[in-house]
Every structure is written in C-alpha cells, then in structure tokens.
Chains A and B, each alone.
Chain A
C-alpha cells in the first residue's frame, strides 16, 4: 500500500515537473527529446500551445479584443526549422488596426548539459506590408539547432470585436498540450461552432469583472462671479465574464492527402461568432445565431440586398433588349448573356459588392457579387423569380454552421415551380445549371425577397459526358491510322472550352499529340465550341507508330491504344478524407480496329463489368472480334461528386481492376 502511494506521488511529481508551462521554464527533458514519443515522423511539435482571447475596456475605445499567445515548440530536425519562423498577420482598416504588444521570444539549447537561452532581439523582428488591409509581423528565432526548443509570447490587440479568429485546435505538427480560453463579457454573446474530428468540449466557468468610468461634471460659476469648476466622479459597473476553456493533450498532426478539396475542412477548430450584443442602456442587437439571422444580416446589408433594389442603371438597356420577348426562359437566357458579355469578372471573390453594381455595369468590370447580384436584379426586373444564392467556394471550405464568413461567394437562382436554375455570370463558359468548378462545393443557400431561405445542392446531378469514337486500321508495321470523334457535354465541355478557345491552335494540337504519346493529328476540327447550348464536337485524323508488341510470331495490342489508363490514381493504402471529384462523369469509348492483312485474331480479353458499391460507379468492358476486325466498347462511370473515405478501399480496388483490364492484350497470329 505504501508502495502504491509512493509511486502515485512520484507520478504526480514527474508530471508536474515535465509540465511547467510558465514562460521560460523549459527543462532538460524537453531539450533532450530526440523524437516525438507518439509520432516519430514529426519534424517539430508544439509542446505547449496557449491562446487566451478576452476583452478589456478603456474609455477611449470601449471594449478591445485581446489575444494572448504563448507557444513552445520543439524542433526535432532540420525539416522542422520552418517552425522557427513565425508570421503574424495583422488586419488594418484605415486608421483602425490590430497591434502586437509585448513580444518576447527565446531559443533554448542544451549546451554542456545546461539549458542555454538566447533572446530574440527587436532588430530581428520585421514589419512587412502585404496589402492595404494586411500588415505582417515576421520574425525568425536565433540560434536554431536540431533539438532546440523555441518559445514566444505576445499580445494581439484588436478593435475588431466582431471578428474573432478561429481557434485552431489542430496543426500540421502534433500538439502535446493545448490550452485555449475564450472569455466574453456578458454584453457580447457568442455562438461557438466546432469542426473536425476532435469534438472538443470546453469547460465553462464565469468570473466577475468591472469597469470604472470617470464622469466629468462642469459647474458653471454663475455670472462669472465664481470660477467654473470641473468635478470628477468615479462610477463602477460590474459584469460577468463567460469563459470557455479547452484543455487538450496529444493532438495528432493534420496530414494533407491528395484529392482533398480543402484540408482546412477537416482541421479541428472552434469558431466564435457574435450572435447578439446587449450593452448597458442600449437595446439588444442581434448578429447571428441561426441561418435565418445570418441571412437577414447579409441580405439587409447595403452591399448585398441593397444592390438588388437598384434598377435605373440597366432599365433602358434591358427594356430595349427584351422588347417583344415573352418566353421567360428566353428572357433569362438573353439577360444572362448580356451580363456575361458586358461585365467581366475581375477575379475577386466576395458576397458583398466592392464598387457597387452601378459602377461595375458602367465600367464593364466587377467582382462576383457585382456581377451576380446585377444578374439577379435584372432577372427580377424581367419578371422572373430570381434570387441570390450564397456559396462557399471549394477553397473556402464547407459552411457547417450559421456564420457570415462561412459564405464567400454569390450566384443566382431562378426558381421555377418544378426546378431551380443556377447561374453564374462570372464564367464565360458556364451556362444554366453548369457552374464553374470553384463553386462546386456542397450546398448553397437561396435567399428570397421575403428573407425566407432554403439550401440547394451545388454538386451537379447531370454527368459530364465524353464519348469517343475511334475507327482505326492497324498495319503490319505497327502503325495505326484512323479517325477520332469526341463529343463532350457539361463540365467536360466547359473544361475543353477553357483550354481550347483563345489558344494558339498549333500549340493546342501539339499538346494533344504529346498527351497521346506523340501521335500525329491532321484535319483537326471543332464544332459548337462557341455554342454553349450544344455539346462540343472534336474530329480529327490520326497516325500513331508502334502500337503493338511483336513477340515471336505474334502481335500483342492494347485495344484502347493511347486511351489506356495505365496508372491507378489512388496509391495510398488508406485514406481519412473524402475523394472529391467535383462532378459526376461518364466516359465512353467505342473503338473499331481493322487488323493487318495476313493476320487473324487469336485471343481477346474477357468481357467484364465492375461495380463500385452503392451504385457509386461502374466500369464495363465489352469486346468482340471476327476474322478481320475488333470492336470494343468501354464505359467508365462515376455517379457521384464525392466519395466518402469508407469506400476508399473499394475505389482503389476498382481502379486497380480497371487499369489491369485496360492493359490486357489482344493477340494476333499469322493467318
């Protein structure tokens, strides 16, 4: 019994010894550690990651947001040196800006068995201006060696109380201990949204705080007989501070994987967003708590809903254009083309307008919001039931919770009794329900004039289809000649148009030739490239050398020739995140091969049909042959935009079989 107590005491003492996270209390064990005990592949690790975000009050500025940061990082090897450079972005808006106070930083090394510390000097801290809105404070630690520990702390003071940076609970390197505190005065009510797999639940507590005001009262002396006096009095307001605290241990590193649309979607993090404010002696002001609130806030903004009500700048043009047109779909189509042709996208995303729809229309240039809100207003003006749709682009992540920042883009929707037509006029080659790739990300949110709202799936339901016909004649010396015809629809047509139109034709053909292993192309012809309502058709003649292998007296040919997929795109053994294709697709190959004279078909591969589970996809390989010709039909279908990671093994196996099948040979022998 004694023993047990003893060992418990020992354990506790070891624990408390190795976990001294006071600034500067770096111990030998931390410096001696050669590898991360759990993740030996880690190049660096946070030994301690601390953040406290809270409010202070001062009479000039009111409440100010303060964030205390204290990181202690172990650097195991040279690859981890990147973590010895720290970049802090500071938001600036005119004279209002975020500032850094009290930066302290040290590097610790073990020198002759003793902890040696070196301080970061202020001459090693640099200020860069990245853009009008972003300043950057950057520093790199002195004397960084393999095995060292670096530590820094600072305070970031921000007047932007509505905008609290996400609390990241997971990093690209492991975190041994993380403490995060968010402390809000009762006047500000924040909603927390947590994402990622950690599912961290904060402990909640509260403390009381108070603000002292100095009140100034001037007493007029009355007729100048007595001097004017100013009296100061102090008053005090008590309030509660609500605290959420996260205390987490051993958080694994976040590893990126191929075909993940945005790794930040999967990072464990908490976002606090202001839902309402109730300052003493003021009325309650709501920000967000639900999707309805988010929608209301965005919609009522002058740079969003306000832009939908402006009509005068386009009225005359639209009236003239639509005169005599009655069919609503035709009207929509004409307006859509009018916007596409007249207002070019300047490359900036945004759900809010920057210069306003009127100026954008006049200058022929606008951001996403200007173009698509203008489009919506025009459609409404023409009597269509059109509404803006908030979108989070692929690189912005998935809006899981009601937040204003969750959406960064806006498109337009026309709601018909039995269908919804989605439109984005920023992309030249998009059309009705064919949105640019950047917007294909989960769900968008339609906002109607009465501020009711509903979600709409942004992933296309209709497949992008490519059909390839090939008629080829194989000669005795291994050359094939023939014709190829391609037909492309939807996103396949869109990406073709993006790559082809306005491009140097020779260059395009040369690229295509090289993509197919150096074939020669002639009589290249494209139809419907500019007619978005029709599939793109591509026709050409080709010649390709060395298309069989001759072994002994037999010829072996891959009947899909240069269309063969000969590599499995999925190489990792397992995967944690979904595979995101963006849109469902279907490719069909129909190939006819005339074999050389004097040869006959000895054997052909077997027919096969492979299915992915739950009808996610299918591969069909059909081949028949007679004495002189081989006919092959291959269908590859992916029926969904996103495949969940639990299907990864099946998907990898599916592609393995597909590649194997496509590489199988037809054998010809001398007749």
Chain B
C-alpha cells in the first residue's frame, strides 16, 4: 500500500509538471538562460510510443517550439517521413505569434507531400510530408502534432531531446507503453550529466528533462551525438518490412541479419565463377587472391544508390550485380563476399557508421544501427577491411571514411563487435625533399618530391583523377602563402601496392624574397608551411578532440642568391608537448647553401576543454616558426 502511494505521488508530480497550464506559446514565459545562444527553444516535446504488438507500433508527438530567427527554423521538425510501411494518421501545425496568439493553422492536406529522394539516389520509395511556412516576424511559435502507425517495430524511437546545436529545451517528455509483454531493452547514455529524470519503475520507460541550455558548436570537439543525453530502445521481438526478428544481443542480431537478409543472396553465374577462379589460380596467399578479386570488383562495378522497401535493408542478389555491374554499398559488399566465397575465402558483411567523424556502433546495445556496409576478411593477426563502393581505393585501405571505430561484423554464427583499423600518427606521414633556389631579384624556383601515406594519402589520392587545370588550381591553393605561383611541371603517381601517393612538382614564383633596401627577407619554409591556427574561443565549453594524428617531415636545400650574404638566420627550435612536437633545424652546408629540416607531429587524442588554449598556442607557435625568415644583405 505504501508502495502504491509512493508511485502515485511520483506520477502526479511527474505529469502535473508535464501538463501544468503555463503558457508555452508566448515568448514571455521562456526562462532567460534558455535564450542564450539559442536559435530556437523547444518549449515542449512530448512523445508517446505505443507498442501494440511485434508488428504494430503507434507514435504520437506534440512539439511546441519557439523560433528566434531563420537559423532556428531548421529545428521546427514539422515533417513526417513515411513509406509503404508507415502511415500518417493525423498531422497538424499551428502558428502562434510572439504573444501566444494563434495566427495560422495548417491541416494535414496543406503539408507539402513529396518524394524524399535525394539527388544522388536513383530511386527511393521514401516520402515526406513537411510544413512550408514563411515567417511573418520573429520570434514565433509552432505547435506540431502528429500520429503515425507502422508495421516496422525495428525502430522504436529513442529519447534524444537535444539533437542540435543552438537549440535549448524547456521540457521534453518521453513515454513508451508496452502492454505486449515483449521484452524491451534500453540503454541510457550521458543521462546523469544532463539531469535526466526517469520514471519510478524502470519498466515504465518514462523519461523527462527540463532546462537544457543551448550548446554552441566548437572546432575540434566530439560529436554532439556523443555528448548529448540519449536513451536507446529496442524490442527483443520486432518486425522489419515483414521479416520477424528476435534479438537480445549483437550475437542474436547478427544471426537474424545473416539468416533473413543476407544468406541466400550469393548466387553467381557459372561463367563468373570460372573467370575469377582462373584469375586467382596462380596466387597462393589468401590476401593476394582477395586483392585480385577486389580489383576485379573495382573494375567491373560502380556505386549507384537504390532504396526500395526491404531493399533498403537487404542486399541485391549477387547475380543481379554481376549482370548490371552496379549496386549500392550492400549490393557491392555482398557481391564481393560472394566472389570471395567462390574461391574459398571467408569474408563477412560488416555494418558501420561511415564518415570522417568516427561514430561507433553502440557495442553493448543491439539494435538496427549504422548507415553503411563494408566487408571484412578475418586474418590470424589482423582483419582486412574492404570498402566495396570505391573504384579507386587500394586493397585494404578504408581511409577516414570507416577507420578506427566499432562496427558490427555479421557471420553465420552471429554478430560480433570489432574495431576497424586505426591510422596512427606514425602511419599518417608526408615526407618531402626539396631544392629551393632564391634568385637575386627575389624570385623562387622550387622542385620537390613528396610522399604521402595513411590518412595523408587519403587526402590526396583524388588528385590522380583530376584534370590538369584542377591540379594546377589545387597546387596554387596548397602553396597559397606564396604569391604568383606558376606550376611548371608535375608528376603524380598513385602507388596502390604500397599505398603511397608520390608527387614531384616544380614551381616558381616572383618576388618571393621581400627586398627592403639592401636587404632581402626570405621565409625559409618554401614548401610546407602550416598557416592554420584553430579558432579562438573566449570561453571554450566543449572538450578537445583530435581525431587523427599526422607527421610531416621536410628537408629543403636552399640555394642563396648571387650577390647576397646571410645577415641573420632564425634559431633552431625544439618543441614538445602532449599535442605533438615540432623541430626546426637550419644547417649551413656552404656559403651559398642552407639545409632546412622540419618535423611536425600532431597527436590524436581527447583532452579537457582547459587544454584548448594550449593546443591553439601550439599551432600558433608552429605557424609563426614556419614563417621564420632569414635576412640577406647585399654583398
């Protein structure tokens, strides 16, 4: 009895606050601190999820948001994505002026309804209904309400109140009703940091939060999704486009995905099997064979996005890809897997979040996650990862698109979380040797050889396919701190076997040396100056995160102009700190020749926000030292 009373009281307070009739439509009732740095304030976001059965889920949403300016309009979120499996039962929006007076009502039929296909996709059956409203004046408030019903229970909406920068939250409530008895799994992330309130009973699945202040984005910080509070949900028994699943953990998930989405799609025509068998017959090593097949796929196929119904989740048949020679990431990965299988090499379909911001598949929470698929070949020492949608990347090179993150590897035995290859600071090198002539009229003539590896390879190999006009432009931008550059000659070699990008370039520039009376000022670093200084923040709020480290090594033989002698040289320097290191060494080879040596190392890592200033200072010092000049004086 006591217990019941307690719950009752809790509920009362929980809901009363939710429904207190404070006016959420007028700007006047917004707490001052929520206006700071905010383009919009969510006054109330109330989401109710009703899991009716493993194949029916209803979601109702009420969202009241006050918008302060044009940028804030992107947070209104007055749209519903739908497709054949998801119906929109009701949809309505109301607009209120600053004082909370209703000025417009938009009914479901007045929402714009169109295909949600993007330009890069050949076809998608996704559709969207969205509100097309022009602000008459700011601020104003929008209330959106809608109800949807879907047969897909694989995606139970999460509680994710703070999903954008410059957005503050006055109140957000989430409720998942589950009368079905289906087991619900959930995972709370960052909830303590943001004072998220939970319903008394853990199985009530009720969450609420109030007064989340807007966050401003800052350079070199973790992703908002890594920092923001979030509660993930998944039903252990669910349906995806008519396919049932039962999943408690990643192992189950992998089994389900393998059995219901992947297995049986690997058939290949006999002729292709014969062809690839012949292709690899002289290779003895597994990876050598795999490489031949990978290159075969690269030459044969190209990436085209097609998203239809379950096709959005299920790869196309391998034989279909064989015929059409194109496919999306799932189809091309599955095709490569089928080819490898045909020559007896095991490989696994692998689900990943792609993008240079390393986003993990949540390792301890099994649900449909990820936005991309790659292939992995297990090895005794290390796994080889293959990006199957690119015609250009070398075998085993995944670059910053899918490196260094947790991914889900699907095997017939089940799913497994693995970590993809990390490109370390020591691997991401750029090594340059150059001869630079300073002419007596201040002109500069440079020839250089540059070798880039790891992530630095990643950032350059696209050049191979550029037109000479664009390469000319690229080089002029690379050396943009030198005025009047003319690229005389270049030669580019993409060495896929060692994964190295080799460039040799000759360029010249006029008036490089700054002639001041009898003196000439010459910056010694002619070829690789760091001019980047991270932005300054008056009050850094977010932690510092450097995603990838790198190492640059430069050696320049500088030949001095006729008729000039050295008056002053910069000092040698050695700097070391937790962010990296920098050394600068100048050596007089003879009267007319200097050797300039430079090494810059930037480490990856995560640091507290207090370190940001020191980090910036490091870059600032490097930029300054890279600009160090010698003074020459007329003989």
Contact = CB atoms under 8 A, between A and B. Distances in A.
Contact of A665 (B37, B124, B514): B514
Contact of A663 (B117, B483, B517): B483
Interface in B88-126: 104, 114-115, 117, 122-124
Interface stretch (A291-299, A306-314, A390-398, A505-513): A505-513
Given A551-B568, A552-B568, A660-B511, A517 B537 contact: no
Contacts of B629: 549, 551, 556
Interface string B523-548: 00000000001011110000000000
Interface string A142-154: 1111100000000
B3 interface: no
Nearest to B299: A145
Contacts of A363: 104
A85 B304 contact: yes
Contacts of B124: 128
A338 interface: no
Given A144-B325, A549-B629, A556 B304 contact: no
A126 B125 CA distance: 10
Interface in A341-357: 344-347
A254 to B, nearest CB: 13
B325 A514 contact: no
Interface string B268-296: 00000000000000000000000000000
Contacts of A517: 533
A143 B123 contact: no
Interface string B502-521: 00000000010010110101
B318 to A, nearest CB: 15
Contact of A346 (B134, B480, B535): B134
Contact of A507 (B37, B104, B304, B467): B37
A142 B324 contact: yes
Interface stretch (A6-14, A76-84, A577-585): A76-84
B536 A518 contact: yes
Interface stretch (B21-29, B468-476, B595-603): B468-476
Nearest to A42: B467
B537 A518 contact: no
Contacts of B483: 566-568, 656, 659-660, 663
A364 B133 CA distance: 11
A664 B627 CA distance: 15
A342 B281 CA distance: 77
A126 B511 contact: no
Of the four ranges (under 10, 10 to 19, 20 to 34, 35 or more), the interface on chain B belongs to 35 or more
B472 to A, nearest CB: 8
Contacts of B122: 85, 126, 138-140
Interface string A139-170: 11011111000000000000000000000000
A344 B473 contact: no
Nearest to A341: B137
A138 B469 CA distance: 31
A665 B516 contact: yes
Contacts of B538: 506, 510
Given A145-B300, A345-B134, A130 B123 contact: no
A551 B521 contact: yes
A502 B69 contact: yes
A603 interface: yes
A397 to B, nearest CB: 22
B368 interface: no
A128, A132, A603, A664 pick with most chain B CB within 10 angstroms? A128
Contacts of B568: 551-552
Contacts of B473: 571-572
Nearest to A134: B114
Given A144-B326, A518-B535, A344 B135 contact: yes
B330 interface: no
A597 interface: no
Contacts of A79: 465
Interface string B294-310: 00000110101010000
A128 B117 contact: yes
A365 interface: yes
Interface string A64-76: 0000000000000
Given A79-B465, A138-B122, A510-B536, A124 B324 contact: yes
B40 to A, nearest CB: 12
A285 interface: no
Contacts of A346: 134
A400 B55 CA distance: 61
Interface string A19-54: 000000000000000000000010000000000000
B323 to A, nearest CB: 7
B250 to A, nearest CB: 35
A571 B474 CA distance: 10
Given A138-B122, A549-B627, A510 B521 contact: no
A502 B304 contact: no
Contacts of B519: 667
A78 B134 contact: no
B69 A41 contact: no
A81 B138 contact: no
Contact of B465 (A77, A118, A344, A546): A77
- Interface hub of B300, B326, B533, B627 (most chain A Cβ within 10 A): B326
Given A365-B136, A502-B69, A130 B521 contact: no
A142 B134 contact: no
Nearest to A602: B517
A600 B536 CA distance: 33
A199 interface: no
B115 A128 contact: yes
A554 interface: yes
Contacts of A124: 324
A117 B356 CA distance: 40
B484 A128 contact: no
Nearest to B137: A344
A118 B568 CA distance: 71
Contacts of B467: 41
B542 to A, nearest CB: 14
B547 to A, nearest CB: 21
Nearest to A127: B123
A70 B319 CA distance: 30
B114 A129 contact: yes
A364 B484 contact: no
B631 A554 contact: yes
A431 B493 CA distance: 56
B123 A507 contact: no
Contact of B516 (A118, A127, A556): A556
Given A346-B134, A502-B138, A546-B624, A552 B123 contact: no
B391 interface: yes
B630 interface: yes
Given A142-B324, A514-B535, A660-B483, 20 more contacts: A41-B469, A85-B304, A118-B323, A128-B123, A132-B114, A140-B122, A140-B326, A347-B134, A363-B104, A502-B70, A502-B138, A504-B37, A506-B37, A514-B536, A518-B533, A518-B620, A549-B629, A572-B469, A603-B517, A665-B521
10 contacts: A78-B465, A126-B122, A142-B326, A144-B326, A513-B536, A514-B536, A551-B568, A551-B629, A567-B483, A665-B514
